[in-house]
Amino acid sequence: MTRLELRELRKTYRTRGRPPVEAVRGIDLTLRSGELLGLLGPSGCGKSTTLRMIAGLEAVTGGDILVDGASVVRAPAQDRNMGVAFENYALYPPLTVAENLAFGLRARRRSARGDVSRKVAEIAERVGLREILDAHPSTLSSGQKQRVSLARALIREPDVLLLDEPLSHLDAAQRDTTRRELKRIQRDLGHTTILVTHDQEEALSLADRIAVMKDGVIQQLGTPYEIYDSPANVFVADFVGEPAINLLPGTATADAHARLSDSVRLALPTPVAEGRKLVLGIRPEDLRLSDDEGALPARVVAHEPLLESGIATLALDGVDRHLVALTDPDVRLAHDDRVRVVADRDLTQVFDAETGDSLR
Amino acid sequence: MTLRKRLLGWLADAALILYFVFALFPIAWMLILSLKPANQLFSTYFSFSPTLDGYRTVLGDSEGIPFVRFFVNSLVVSLGAVLLSLVVGLPAAYASARWRFKGSENLMFTLLSFRFAPELTVIIPLFVLYEKLGLFDTYVGMIWVLQLVTLPLIVWIMRSYFADLTPELEQAALLDGYSRKQAFFKVALPLVKPGIAAVSLLAFIFAWNNFVFPLILTSNEAQTVTVGALSFLGGDRPKYNLTAAAALVSVVPPLLLALLIQRYLVRGLSFGAVKS
């Protein structure tokens, strides 16, 4: 359908008497037609600003936005044909759901009257709004409002669909169903889509590719598996993953190990120049309780027995850090229990301590 | 319900009734005064032979005082002032709520300062100016000067109404193909209708009740009821019954307006679709 390209996109906020704030510092992205790209990052990383620049709601400081090769960066929002589902839904309160959906079609005066009601019925069917077409937004649940908001964005057949934190106001049950719906609808209709979110679960489960942002810069662009399995730097490793990855400072040795302290060494997946300062990243699920040769002794600080797996907080002997490890559901641990733990060498992430970049 | 609670309830009721008597007594007194015949004006008895002569005289243009014209003047001037303030003030309120521009805060503060400077401080220079400009005792002059009363009110109150409105609503309208102007007129404005109703009524009452400006800046042609009602006190003998009748007649328009738009006043702002 549509290819979207961002070239060197920048946004700098200038307020008199204050230093300028660089919200977005040169973003390059190309979305294939029909792709769903997740823009993932903590609040203030510039992801929403990027989305608003694409929509035309925010003036661009520098760079270009191309839709199917044609620049739209100078066009006002009403001429861009972008569909946006806002975080707070932004439905017109005095209008019914059907009128909300028809609003955009009427505003553009592109469709004949019969055409409008046909399209409303069509999209309502697809998004599952048929029963609530005559309801006013104030009477709807958050999940329903989000679906109406999505339908309103879709009904105009936009070139690009922009979703701003679409699930963040929903409760857990609604989030799961709405997420599945979202994925199905996006796949059915095949819109090129950008999903802005701070929720890694949302990005990992919905997106074809994820761009992790921090401080207005894309840290890594890749499939959910690439992001998770080979994070490009410490930030990405730390931001993606629940419970968070264990980060341990250490020094490389000549025999492809890292020394965490005088008594504790961990094997590295790749050799690194001796003496280099490192940060090792080990995901909680890659730590295993074991009696193997070379397993590290540790003391149990806390154990949270959840249903599908437990979360153990361990104090490694000789290292001034706590480790978090996932345990099998049948494991019972008590405070101060002694255990031995082993890390999967091949899944250990290795980062340069200074730059934070991955050395793998 | 315990005895203690019931007792407290009675006490509260009694206090309220006492307050009502205190607050409404002057109005009741006016009503009685307005119905008294001229020869019983100075008796304090509650028994008298009620007559509508006072109202007849006031509305009948006798005594050489054109009260009906004052009444019409008040209507024209107050409505005119409110309408002009709405036309100028709504876009101003919207702009100041949505955008920070150079000097926007100073501008808003200047506007507010019109409200806390006593009118008397500017009335002499205004009088001189109005004489020179030919605005003295004209509708245009009165509507203009009443902007000092109505415009700050409308701009400041409507500004907060617009600020409460999430900008995403207008942005959604922009994406739906509306221009900025349409987004303002067709999305933002209809949503603040209850606010417009409430603030218009307030502004109307303030304009209607204004005394100093018509006292100094009008003499006859554009004089309003607040000043006009006092004319009955002049002459050899103050005609309190006529003043009272005039005052009560002049309460009618604000009262009617308030009843008419009560629906909007009560409703206030509720944006069910927006989660803050």
Indicate the pLDDT class of residue B271, thresholds 50, 70 and 90: very low
User: Considering chain A, what percentage of its residues have pLDDT values greater than 90?
Assistant: 60
pLDDT of A177 > 90? The answer is no
Contact A168, A152 (CB under 8 A): no
What pLDDT sits at residue B1?
65
Q: What is the pLDDT of residues A49-58, one digit of tens each?
A: 999 999 999 9
Domain end marker among A198, A219, A238: A238
pLDDT at B266: 64
Whether chain B has a CB inside 8 Å of the CB on A145: the answer is yes
Mean pLDDT calculated for residue range A264-291: 91
Listed residue (A233, A77, A94) closest to A162, CA to CA: A77
Does A223 share its domain with A82? yes
Report the domain count for chain A: 2
| Predicted pLDDT at B272 | 34
Is A175 in the same domain as A290?
A: no
Per CB-CB distance under 8 Å, the chain B contacts of A84 are: 171-172, 175
Checking if the pLDDT of B273 tops 50, the result is no
**Mean pLDDT (whole number) for A253-277:** 90
- Whole-number pLDDT of residue A127: 86
Structural contact between residues A154 and A187, judged by C-beta atoms closer than 8 angstroms = no
Asked if A93 and B172 come within 8 Å (Cβ–Cβ), the reply is: no
Examine the domain organization and report whether A187 and A260 are in the same domain: no
Could you tell me if B165 and B271 are in contact, meaning their C-beta atoms sit under 8 angstroms apart?
yes
Same domain for A102 and A217, yes or no, is yes
Q: What percent of chain A shows pLDDT beyond 70?
A: 99
Segment 183-242 of chain B within 8 Å of chain A by CB:
187, 190-191
pTM, rounded to two decimals: 0.81
Domain containing residue A344: CATH number: 2.40.50.140
Q: Does B267 touch chain A (CB under 8 A)?
A: no
Q: Based on the fold, state whether residues A268 and A214 are members of the same structural domain.
A: no
* Residue A133 located in a structural domain: yes
**Mean pLDDT, to the nearest integer, of A229-250?**
94
Is there a single domain that holds both residue A254 and residue A226?
A: no
Residue A117 domain-assigned (yes or no): yes
CA-nearest residue of chain A to B193?
A94
What is the rounded distance in angstroms from the CA atom of residue A333 to the CA atom of residue B122? 83
Asked which of A100-114, A254-268, B111-125, B233-247 is least confident by mean pLDDT, the reply is: A100-114
Average pLDDT over residues A258-287: 91
Residue A360 located in a structural domain: no
Kindly report the CATH number assigned to the domain that includes residue A27.
3.40.50.300
| Domain-located, residue A79 | yes
Q: What is the mean pLDDT of residues B247-252?
A: 91
pLDDT for B276: 36
Domain boundary assignment for chain B = 3-56, 65-267
Instruction: Provide the pLDDT for residue B52.
Output: 86
Could you give the CA distance from residue A94 to residue B101 in angstroms, rounded to a whole number? 31
Higher local confidence (pLDDT), A252 or B62: A252
Could you tell me the pLDDT band of residue B233, with boundaries at 50, 70 and 90? Answer: confident
> What would the mean pLDDT of A70-95 be, rounded to a whole number?
91
Q: Do B271 and A136 touch (CB under 8 A)?
A: no
Please say which residue of A238, A257, A278 terminates a domain: A238
CB proximity A82 to B under 8 Å: yes
CA distance A236 to A247: 12
* Together in a domain, A209 and A252: no
Q: What integer pLDDT is reported at residue A103 of this predicted model? A: 87
CB contact under 8 A, A88 and B168: yes
Kindly state the average pLDDT of the residues A310-329: 90
Q: What is the pLDDT of residue A110?
A: 62
Helix (H, G, I), strand (E, B) or coil at B43: coil
pLDDT, tens digit, 9 for 90 and up, residues A159-174: 999 999 988 888 888 8
Amino acid identity for residue A324 in this structure: V
User: Are A81 and A226 in the same domain?
Assistant: yes
A250 in reach of chain B (CB within 8 A)? no
**Residue A216 contacts B, CB cutoff 8 Å:** no
Q: What pLDDT score does A70 carry?
A: 93
For residue A258, give its domain range: 244-352
Q: Are residues A73 and A144 in the same domain?
A: yes
Give the domain-ending residue among A238, A268, A295.
A238
Determine contact: A170 vs chain B, CB below 8 A: no
**B65-267 is classed CATH 1.10.3720.10:** yes
In the predicted structure, residue B57 carries a pLDDT above the cut 80? yes
Q: Which of A86, A140, A169 sits opposite B172 (nearest CB)?
A: A86
Minimal-distance CA residue of chain A relative to B176: A104
A231 and A274 housed in the same domain: no
CA distance B259 to chain A (A): 24
Q: Answer yes or no: are the C-beta atoms of A52 and A80 closer than 8 Å.
A: no
Contact B271 A57 (CB under 8 A): no
Whether A49 maps to a domain, the answer reads yes
Distance of CA B133 to the CA centre of its chain: 27
Sign of CA dihedral B43, B49, B54, B55: positive
- Mean per-residue pLDDT over chain A, rounded: 91
Q: Give the 3-state DSSP-derived string for chain A, with helices as H, strands as E and coil as C.
A: CCCEEEEEEEEEECCCCCCCEEEEEEEEEEECCCCEEEEECCCCCCHHHHHHHHHCCCCCCEEEEEECCEECCCCCHHHCCEEEECCCCCCCCCCCHHHHHHHHHHHHCCCCHHHHHHHHHHHHHHHCCHHHCCCCHHHCCHHHHHHHHHHHHHHCCCCEEEEECCCCCCCHHHHHHHHHHHHHHHHHHCCEEEEEECCHHHHHHHCCEEEEEECCEEEEEECHHHHHHCCCEHHHHHHCCCCCCEEEEEEECCCCEEECCCCCEEECCCCCCCCCEEEEEECHHHEEECCCCCCEEEEEEEEEECCCCEEEEEEECCCCCEEEEEECCCCCCCCCCEEEEEECHHHCEEEECCCCEECC
In a domain, A222, yes or no: yes
Closest in A56, A88, A104 to B274, CB measured: A88
